[in-house]
Amino acid sequence: MRILFIGDIVGSPGRHIVAERLADLVAQQKIDLVIANCENAASGFGITPRLVEELLGTGIEVLSGGNHSFDRKEILDYFPHQPRLLRPANYPNGAPGSGLYIGAAKNGVGCAVLNLQGRVFMAALDCPFRTADRELARIPPDVKVVLVDMHAEATSEKLAMGWYLDGRVTAVVGTHTHVATADEQLLPQGTAYITDVGMTGPHDSVIGMEKAPILRRFLDGLPARFEVGSGNVQMNAVLLDVDESGPLGPAGRACARSIQRLRFRSD
């Protein structure tokens, strides 16, 4: 089967290029499952119920999150009612929503998506490594395809998670830094890995936001209002080819055959 993971969607430019390009891409590449990180979809900070439904309507099956998942107050009551919207599983007990989705792809193959958040240079959440152990134990043995979104600042923490889960999941993909890395690879026990998928949004910017206010803040250190940038809108993603019916990894999960970076510019 073929899985598309779309990097952090930033504001209306990011949403628009997904709406513009996704349907054709799914048809051309025969994609069975689409996942996207959406924590910056609402003007760069958070997500709203309306935008969740908008993105799911483009053909995305599962939306993952990160440190901005709860930025919009209207999303708090919505989380428990939309299992296809994830927030990091290592938020403390009592946080609304879930970090694990279990369902099926378009081709009927059982799949799971796990969302984790790193702690280095970020909020002091529960340990993502121990959380991964706990959440993977909840996935039924017959669900062979498992993808992990590791939303983290430090490349070392993401890569450590890749090695920690090698052979136990199908893929570990990194999000959060909005800069695509060139280290896509298949780890020795069959897990596909990349440190960061990159950003889906305006690249004539500073990681999605208008340049001028950010430059002023670097120069004078004063608070500034950040707005989503514009220009050079790109969709960054990875395409995974998964052998769901072939030899399984040590933990009984499907192995990846390949991982490929994709980049598209807006028409």
pLDDT > 80? residue 36: yes
Percentage of the residues of the chain whose pLDDT score is greater than 70: 100
pLDDT > 80? residue 267: no
Which strand (E) or helix (H) includes residue 28? helix 11-29
| Active-site residue list | 68
Cα separation, 261 vs 45, in Å, equals 25
**What is the pLDDT at residue 3?**
98
CATH superfamily of 2-265: Metallo-dependent phosphatases (3.60.21.10)
- 74 by DSSP, 3-state: which? helix
- What lies within 8 Å, CB to CB, of 9 at 6+ separation is 15, 18, 36, 37, 38, 40, 41, 55, 200, 201
Yes or no: say if 41 and 75 are a contact pair by the CB < 8 Å rule: no
Band of pLDDT at residue 266, cut at 50, 70 and 90: confident
pTM: 0.96
**What is the pLDDT at residue 107?**
92
